[in-house]
Amino acid sequence: MDIETRQTILESLKNSGFYVIRGYFDKETCARISRLMDSKLSNFSMGDGMDFRHHNFENECNDTKKFLNDPILQEICDLHMQSPLIKKRCQAGVVSYDPGNQVCSGGGWHVDKRSKQFKSILYLSDVTIKSGYFSIIPQSSDKLDLLQSIPKFEGDNSMTRFSLSELTQKSLIETRINILGEAGDLILVDTSNIHRGEEILEGKRYSLTNYYYN
């Protein structure tokens, strides 16, 4: 990656909170990983939105290990966070439509942390308006103190979750960006901006997410 592209990514992360790289993985590789995820689904746990997650999928195949250890992604992470990487992991995610339940990834509008946080999200399947796409409210990380957080569970004081009604009232929801894409598209994101995985309305959505801890 040349210096100009790297600088463009860093500026986008700073100004809007995300950057999309199209065609990061080829479709054959995405399909191969998705098939492996289906075969390992009994080892997955349920997430907040009734999605299924495998927290360390880098141990399952070379493709996911390669994704996690991409030195360019790690360099972007270090530069954006302005601190060295401590640890990392690759999480596999499967979101499946269930006519009896509202299924999504993450369980509603939230931030991962109230301070800077970098993740890379790889779509392994084509993501349409019905596929539980990733949605983000740009430049919302500096507005968190203006919002009333809601607890994730009784006694939760993390102040990382927000109601749709307040986001609508404060005219933030109308600025959201819905990121659709094809299998192989990669989203680099600062998850201190308010975001969510939208409810899936048909089929399955497969993804990998690299978590970086600085």
Domain housing 88: 3-213
Q: Tens digit of pLDDT for each residue in 26-37?
A: 999 999 999 999
Q: Give the DSSP per-residue string, 53-112.
A: EETTGGGT-HHHHHHHT-HHHHHHHHHHHTS---EEEEEEEEEE--TTS---SSSSSB-S
Q: Tens digit of pLDDT for each residue in 127-173?
A: 999 999 999 999 999 999 999 998 887 777 789 999 999 999 999 99
* Residue-level pLDDT at 213: 95
Q: What is the CATH number of the domain that holds 40?
A: 2.60.120.620
- Structural domains counted in the chain: 1
